[in-house]
Structure formats: C-alpha cells, structure tokens
A = this chain, B = another copy of it.
Amino acid sequence: VSDTDEPLALLVHRLETQAELSAQDRGALLKLPYTIKAFDASTYLLREGEAPSACAVLVSGFAYRHKISVDGAKQIVSLHVPGEPLDFQHLFLNEADHNIQTLTRGEAALVPREAFRKLAQERPAVMQALLVNVLVEASIFREWVLNVGRRDGRSRIAHLLCEFAIRLDAQGLTNSNGYELPMTQEQIGDATGQTAVHVNRMLKALEKEGLVKRMGRCVSFADWRALRDIAGFGERYLHLGKQGA
C-alpha cells in the first residue's frame, strides 16, 4: 500500500497515533492544500536563519535535523522516518534555529504554513495534536542530551539504533528481516557526538559481538532487544500511544 497517493492521510494517521481527532478534524486536515516535492539525498529542506514558509510532511525517504557550531562541527539532533511532520518545530517561530536535510532520496508534502496555522487556530483538537507531537519530539531531544552527555561511544550508537527501530515500527514500516539505518559512519558520528573513525571502531566491535551487520553504506540489525541492554534504552521517552489523560 503506497501512501504516496494520499500524503495527508499519512499525516492524519500519524497525528491519530498520538492524539484524539474528530471526523471533522480529519476532514479539515485532508482538505489542506499541498504540493509534492521529490528530493535527492542530502537536500536541504530548510536552513538555519530562514523564515519557514511551508510545513513539510515526510512521505518517503529519511531526513534529519542538524546544527553547525561556529567552528564548523556538525551535530545531528534528530532523525525522521516517513510519515513524520518536519516543520511543526518552526510553525509558530519566526526563524529556523537549525537545518533540515534529507538522508536519502524521497518525497515530501508541502502544506503552506499559513493554511496549517489557520486550521490549528480554528480547531483546538488539531492544535492539541500538533502540540503533542511537538512535546514528544522535545522529549526525544532531552533523551539525546542524555545520550551524548552520559553514554560511551558504543552505547550511543546502540541507542540510536534502538530508537530508529522503534520509530520505524511505530510508523508500521517494519521489515521482517531486520532494520537498516541508511546513514554513513560520518553521519552516525555527527548524531552521536563522535568522529567517523571512532564510529567505525565501535561498529566493528558491535559486529564482532554479533549485534549488527553492515552491507554497503547501511547498518542493519535484526535484534534491537539485544542492543537495548548495552544502550540502556527505555522507550518511555517516546511516549508511544495516544496521549490525552
């Protein structure tokens, strides 16, 4: 089932995994105007300092957020899998504080920023769903602070893989023969606060332990539960399931 035909249905589905929406809310969301944009790997969808003009939803492919420090070091601050909205973090801010870049080729649905804001302001449930999405992302950022601040190199990578697996599952993108992270070792380093060289060493260690396999430029793994222990991974921070009291 390709969701590319109905990009906004993907978004509605995503929001409904986190919050309650009425039939009217769903209908209004599906009636939002949008355009489809195809992109290559490494395309910038938004740059720090820009005023965001659209609200993108990732339809296929993978993307990430990153920041560059004054001395040129790059830090990836989050990963995104298909179905996830990319611009809620800026929807009510004047200026982007980070970059959004694609990891692979893929497609995004671009909804005009104003249309989305107007809908959110008119429909409290939509605004709340948006808020829940932002809150969960904020929780993930906090976990990443812990990850880069307090875990060693090997554990950080394991943690990244665990989170990726769970988030793929949450989007129903599970591949029965394991997970495959489409990142170069340099990108894994940028996400975990290490150099590509050290990522290579840690990855080899994990491979020797039988926890991951590598083919080409992807890291694949079949058993994220085995990684969980060495990552100290707990899924509470992902706030899976519908939020609402």
Contacts and interface: CB of A to CB of B under 8 A. Distances in A.
A90 B142 CA distance: 13
Interface in A202-243: 232, 234, 236-237, 239, 241, 243
Contact of A145 (B19, B48, B135, B144): B144
Nearest to A228: B70
A132 B239 contact: no
B141 A94 contact: no
Given A93-B243, A94-B245, 14 more contacts: A48-B236, A67-B142, A91-B135, A94-B239, A94-B244, A95-B236, A95-B239, A98-B139, A130-B131, A134-B134, A134-B135, A141-B144, A149-B193, A150-B193
Interface of A: 19, 48-49, 51, 65, 67, 69-71, 73-75, 77-78, 89-95, 97-98, 117, 121-122, 124, 127-128, 130-132, 134-139, 141-146, 148-151, 192-193, 232, 234, 236-237, 239, 241, 243-245
